[in-house]
A and B are shown apart, each in its own frame.
Chain A
Amino acid sequence: MSRLTTDDLLKIKQKYKEEFTLREGGYRTKVTVHMGTCGIAAGAREVMDALMDEIAKNSIQNILVASSGCAGLCGREPIATVEETGGETIKYCDLNAEKMRKIVTEHFIEGKPLLDYALPPWSDMPFFNLQELRVLRNIGLMDPENIEEYIARDGYQAAAKALIHMTPEEIINVVKSSGLRGRGGAGFPTGLKWEFASKVQSDVKFMLCNGDEGDPGAFMDRSVMEADPHSVIEGMIIGAKAIGSHNGYIYVRAEYPLAVKRLQMAIDKAVEAGLLGENILGTGFDFGLEIYLGAGAFVCGEETALMRSIEGKRGMPRPRPPFPAHKGLWDKPSVLNNVETLAQISPVILKGADWYRSLGTEKSSGTKVFALTGTIKNVGLVEVPMGIPLRTIIHDVGGGIKKRGKFKAVQLGGPSGGCVPEHLLDTPVTYEDIVATGAIVGSGGMVVMDDNTCMVGMAKFFLEFTADESCGKCPPCRVGTRILLDILTDIAEGRGKEEDVVTLEDLSRDIIATSLCGLGQTAPNPVLTTIKYFRDEYESHIKHGWCKAGVCRDLCSFRIDEKLCTGCGACLRGCPSKAIVGEKKQPHKIIQELCVHCRSCYEACKFRSIKIMPAGYEGDLSELAEPAGAESSTKKGEA
């Protein structure tokens, strides 16, 4: 591709508009197979192969086949979107090669859409209609490997506007008044960050993008980098102009090979088109961009550690000041922004601050992408206006809890965040309101948990992560998280002591007060919030040796309530260790010595007659309805 001018951008847009209006392009149908990491993992390649194969075999002419990024509903991948002239758009989900072949025959050849395989129409699904796609505006709707498709969707218009018609101050003012706050976790106002760096005099400055995404369970940034890499690059060009930088890096973890590939392709194409490198769009502005592969340490997402890592040093945070706006990468003024933050810059520039503020609240404007996972029906990426209640996200967008479980809590902000219980579900999703609950908005991980989750186990899971990921620089985090983990492990394995909960809280507060970086300062949040909202669970573990969720293996036993058991045998059939005995239609029994606590009977019983009791409990099941009834003798060790 030759170097582009602003006119060319418009021409490409026009050309695509014409071609892709299906009729004019001569196509009847456009099929898009979504090939994000989630889709590919679920088998999108086989689906694509089957589609191409069938089309060739049947010599179908008028179908346009395209691939694209994640469609947002990762739990239902592989997904293919079918657009037809005059017809309704249909999204086929949970596909495999066989289904695809059938779709080709019945839908494309015989003209009968296979509604059994399709999602309900878009407008009927809260999953889609409650969402507002700004960050995800292009995702799943274009081929990320084709720069022209991005340009056709208004791509690089904002960069052109910023480079040609706007001064750095004007750019900064728009971003400032949009109220956009950094989406990487801390929520620092982006415009302000740019302003600080723009005011520092230096011939070399760096514009950096944080694509490290280390939170377990988060995949917003990966999806954007994979499915809309140019939006990140365009955001960086605009930021570079604002702060006066001519060099940039995108820091991506090496575990994201597809994101790296797409970003590299996008950079190469943009350079070829004169949208990166020297004299961008003939404006005389230079901005060179490179990818830096991170080795996948969580702490390398922290800004000072990330900069050390790019310098080739040990990725270890250092104290601020000096702030990166003064001394960042190689001691030069630097701005680091998150992927999601940058992806929103071009619409802000094109549509203005008021448009951006039209969604969200006064202090938390715009939208936020969440990675919805856990025991929820609609697993995937959702983008919602800030300020909507958590309940709406979980119950409406997310479709509520899977199977017969009951909502227990939602973990926000991954290992740095905390859990929010049922009674706080009406909390609006804003930076301030969420912090008041003890959790954080964070980068947008949202793990929904039902009553089969043990909160001690949950806290332990996150502490295992942070204790392992602590860089080791400062003692409160390096040793403190390890001690928290030890105590939690003791509680989960039946060695808990009465004073443990107090120790956990006390040590947590000291770790928060003294740690150097955000990792240590937030690592105890899962401990503090689970204690705050589920103290009874800790006490039940410690005092009664009883993990009521039946997760901590040493602190539970599975018993069949004879009064409820119908003798259907479902449990018996599912038990992998043949621990269940009983005649048909007679109450069954679990032989405790053989039970391996796998929970399959608990899940299998339709009559809920399997009860989770303290380990070694032998008494009457009804006696234990109240935890107070669980007298000591049931403690592990004595049992």
Chain B
Amino acid sequence: MVEFTINDKQISVENGTTILNAARMNGIKIPNLCFDKRLRPYGGCRLCVVEVEGMPRLFAACSTPAAPGWAVKTDTPKLRKVRQTVIELLLVHHPLDCPVCDKAGECDLQDLAYEYGKPEGRFIRHRKEAPPDVRGPLIELTSNRCILCGKCVRICSEHQGRGALGLIGRGFPTVVQPAFGEILECDYCGQCVDVCPTGALLSKPFKFKARAWFLEEKETICPFCGCGCTLTLGVREGKILRSRGKEDVGRNKGNLCGRGRFGFDFIYSDTRLKTPLIKKDGAFVPATWDEALEYISGELKKIINTNGRESIGAIGSHRCTNEDNFMLRKFMLNVIGSNNMDSSASFGYAKVQKALDAAFGLKTHSINMDSPLDKDLILVLESDISITHPVFGLNILQAKRNGSQVIVADCRETKLTRHSSKHLKMKEGTSTAFLNGIMKVVLDRELCDRAAVSNITGFPGFEQGLEDYTPAKVSLITGIPEEDIISAAEAIANARNRMISFTLGV
């Protein structure tokens, strides 16, 4: 632990904690424009400089670990002076077009200029004169507003694993650009839009829709996949105008994928059903909710009375939240009194669920989003998790960055295979043989505690079942070279802890 003070407040943090993180944990604000918790310290914007008593130099709080006994000051006349200069310099090339910028009102640059800026800049030359890039379908890039904090570039390459944006040129003319200046072609996750501290990257669908201060923010859960990310919706006069992630909010901790961020427009589709429909004389006719509920309960009662409770079934959906599905279940059991329930997920996960039940007796397996983060080794089986469960996929990428081994067995080239420590190119649908092969190697080479596993009921039969799955045979089935199967098995068995990750269709 390191004991030191910030603005005379006694603080104690773990070794290696940066001054900025220590301050954040203690509710002390240090201005910055290039920091993001998810990214490596960048030290680019120079606004987080702080003074340490007895040291002539200033230190960038974001990248300087606190040292024992330091007396850190975050707000002194000297610091105000240099921060003022830095902001003044940033505003040299900023167009100051806040009246027509969607970011106004929630713009970090604006806020800091308000706090530190001078009413009059000494340096007025050199505006950048790059035309805004409005070619992409969802994201607009107005380079003139960019302060080159590099957050978009880093969130995209470091965190999103994509690298669609880059810094081009050097010195004053440096700009952020998609590769080769082409139209932005990427995951369209919009993470870059969220992290941009200025109006340089903005959402195109939201353009000129509302001033930030007129938006009401409401939190909800994204309907698109099982990750269950929290969306922060911007609502004005009852209409949803945008959706974004907010730092530390929800299981997604601010991350969102393109579907969650941009995919809500269907709710305003002309072809969307906006009222219940009741079929009358062979045709669906719009009805009110009261009518519909009354109709449904009437019909249900009728059926119960004539055919019994068991004749009613319900189908839930993985598009609904757990809470919704839980309510459905409760309704069926307690109100209707029927156990006939299914879900649209039967086509996918239900089989997995059955297998897990049969093998391990696991009936529910609510997934911990953070589970990849503390694993030494992650084996991904024939799953394009970055597409099916993008935000969970981000945690696999993050685990890799933190030093975990990621082995991906897949016939495709996916984002995960590109970031993996080892891509085992296997023939489609051969995961079972592959897993059997791994287990055989582990057992044959005594890479596990044989005594312990032998006690599991049915173990001898299980082992016998593996008889045929020699590396040579498995290699023939899966197309993975023998030595790769063996080394994967060794890596898996030797890891301190491990997880196997897969989604639909395995």
Contacts and interface: CB of A to CB of B under 8 A. Distances in A.
A-B complex is real = yes
B170 A514 contact: no
A231 interface: no
B43 A516 contact: yes
Interface in B164-211: 166-167, 169-174
B222 interface: no
Given A321-B64, A514-B49, A472 B170 contact: yes
Given A478-B148, A486-B125, A513-B58, A467 B45 contact: no
Interface in B452-490: none
Contacts of A486: 123, 125-126
Interface string B81-115: 11001100110110000000000000000000000
Contacts of A474: 43-46
Contacts of B169: 472
Contacts of A314: 166-167
Interface in A465-480: 467-476, 478-480
A107 interface: no
A482 B171 contact: yes
B147 A475 contact: yes
B42 interface: yes
B89 A515 contact: no
A507 interface: yes
Given A486-B126, A514-B85, A514-B86, A475 B63 contact: no
Given A486-B126, A514-B82, A475 B45 contact: yes
Nearest to A298: B170
A479 B86 CA distance: 9
Contacts, number: 101
Interface in B25-54: 41-46, 49
Interface in A422-479: 467-476, 478-479
B167 A467 contact: no
Contact of B126 (A316, A476, A482, A507): A482
Given A318-B43, A479-B89, A479-B172, A472 B81 contact: no
Nearest to A480: B89
B171 to A, nearest CB: 4
Chain A interface residue count: which class?
Answer: 20 to 34
B411 interface: no
B36 to A, nearest CB: 15
Which among A299, A472, A476, A503 has the greatest number of chain B C-beta atoms within 10 A? A472
Contacts of A319: 41-43, 60, 62-64
Nearest to A466: B171
A474 B60 CA distance: 12
B65 interface: yes
A480 B122 CA distance: 12
B123 A483 contact: yes
A471 B44 CA distance: 11
A318 B42 contact: yes
Most chain B CB within 10 A, of A475, A483, A510, is at A475
Contacts of B64: 319, 321
A273 interface: no
Given A319-B63, A503-B122, A516-B46, A467 B85 contact: no
A560 B427 CA distance: 91
A291 interface: no
B90 A321 contact: no
B30 to A, nearest CB: 14
Contacts of A514: 46, 49, 58, 82, 85-86
A476 B89 contact: yes
A614 to B, nearest CB: 26
Interface size class on chain B is 35 or more
B372 interface: no
A320 B63 CA distance: 7
B150 interface: yes
A297 interface: yes
B171 A472 contact: yes
Contacts of A299: 170
Contacts of A481: 171
A297 B86 CA distance: 25
Contacts of B167: 314, 316, 472
Q: From A467, A473, A482, name the one whose CB has the most chain B CB atoms within 10 angstroms.
A: A473
Contact of A472 (B82, B92, B125, B148): B148
B46 A468 contact: no
A321 B171 CA distance: 24
A214 to B, nearest CB: 13
B174 A476 contact: no
A473 B44 contact: yes
Contacts of A472: 148, 167, 169-174
A507 B82 CA distance: 9
Given A321-B64, A467-B171, A486-B125, A479 B90 contact: yes
Contacts of B173: 472
Given A475-B90, A479-B172, A503-B122, A321 B63 contact: yes
A317 B86 CA distance: 19
A318 B174 CA distance: 17
Contacts of A513: 49, 57-58, 82
B86 A475 contact: yes
Contacts of B42: 318-319
Given A475-B90, A480-B89, A510 B170 contact: no
A295 to B, nearest CB: 11
A515 B92 CA distance: 17
Contacts of B63: 319-321
Contacts of B174: 471-472, 478
A314 B170 CA distance: 10
Contacts of A321: 63-65
Contacts of B49: 513-514
A468 B173 CA distance: 9
Interface in A299-334: 299, 314, 316, 318-321
A510 B171 contact: no
A633 to B, nearest CB: 28
Given A473-B148, A479-B89, A516 B60 contact: yes
A145 B126 CA distance: 51
A314 B165 CA distance: 13
A273 to B, nearest CB: 36
A27 B170 CA distance: 57
A475 B172 contact: no
A479 to B, nearest CB: 4
Contacts of A297: 170
A470 B171 contact: yes
Contact of B92 (A316, A468, A483): A483
A467 B126 CA distance: 13
A471 B170 contact: yes
A475 B89 contact: yes
Contacts of B43: 318-319, 474, 516
Contact of A515 (B46, B90, B126): B46
A478 B172 contact: yes
Given A486-B125, A503-B122, A514-B82, A475 B46 contact: yes
Interface string A476-499: 101111110010000000000000
5 contacts: A467-B171, A474-B45, A475-B46, A478-B174, A483-B89
The 8 closest A-B pairs by CB, nearest first: A319-B43, A472-B174, A319-B63, A479-B89, A510-B85, A470-B171, A514-B46, A482-B172
Interface of A: 297, 299, 314, 316, 318-321, 467-476, 478-483, 486, 503, 507, 510, 513-516
Interface of B: 41-46, 49, 57-58, 60, 62-65, 81-82, 85-86, 89-90, 92-93, 122-123, 125-126, 147-148, 150, 166-167, 169-174
Given A321-B65, A468-B171, A483-B123, 12 more contacts: A314-B166, A319-B43, A467-B171, A469-B171, A470-B170, A472-B169, A474-B45, A476-B89, A479-B90, A480-B89, A486-B125, A510-B82
